[in-house]
Amino acid sequence: MKKARRNGFVLILVIVAIAVIGVQMSALADIANTMQFQSQNAYLKACERNLLASGLVWAKENIRNKNGEILDTTIQLDTSEMNIRGSALDVTVSRSSDSQAEVRIDTSCSRGRQTLRETGKYRIDSNDQQATTIGTREGPAGD
């Protein structure tokens, strides 16, 4: 009688252990999904910032060099060399005053099932002679 009772105890112990492991795996899977979502979201925001910076640099250079040839036209810039899959960058430049241009930048980038679309309007002083080449930014003393 004792032997049969002992075998039943071991069986119950194994079933409880499997149930505890199943609950832990479920909790870990939820945490992993949350971490994956957060990492994809951070990646998309970084891509959006890169696209925005590229669009602003392009607009500033073309405002200074083309003197009105690109005004009120939406231009879709090629983003293939940036290695951002599923991205799009549209820039529209319009004149807001004598020395300022208004730039509308539409960005879109996607990864997996997430897509991030942003639209922003910015003012650029067309008389600004600061270089916009990457890496030539002049900061305050001590930078």
pLDDT band, residue 5 (cuts 50/70/90): low
pLDDT band, residue 3 (cuts 50/70/90): low
User: pLDDT tens for residues 43-52?
Assistant: 999 999 999 9
The answer, yes or no, to whether residue 18 has pLDDT greater than 90, is yes
- Which pLDDT score is estimated for 106? 93
How far apart are alpha carbons 54 and 107 in whole angstroms? Answer: 11
pLDDT band, residue 134 (cuts 50/70/90): very low
- Which pLDDT score is estimated for 24? 94
How far apart are alpha carbons 21 and 3 in whole angstroms? Answer: 27
User: pLDDT tens for residues 53-106?
Assistant: 999 988 888 887 766 667 788 888 888 888 888 889 999 888 776 678 888 999
DSSP state letters, 12-65: HHHHHHHHHHHHHHHHHHHHHHHHHHHHHHHHHHHHHHHHHHHHHHHHHHHHHH
How far apart are alpha carbons 83 and 132 in whole angstroms? Answer: 22
Average per-residue pLDDT in the chain? 80
pTM above 0.75, yes or no: no
- Which pLDDT score is estimated for 20? 95
- Which pLDDT score is estimated for 4? 57
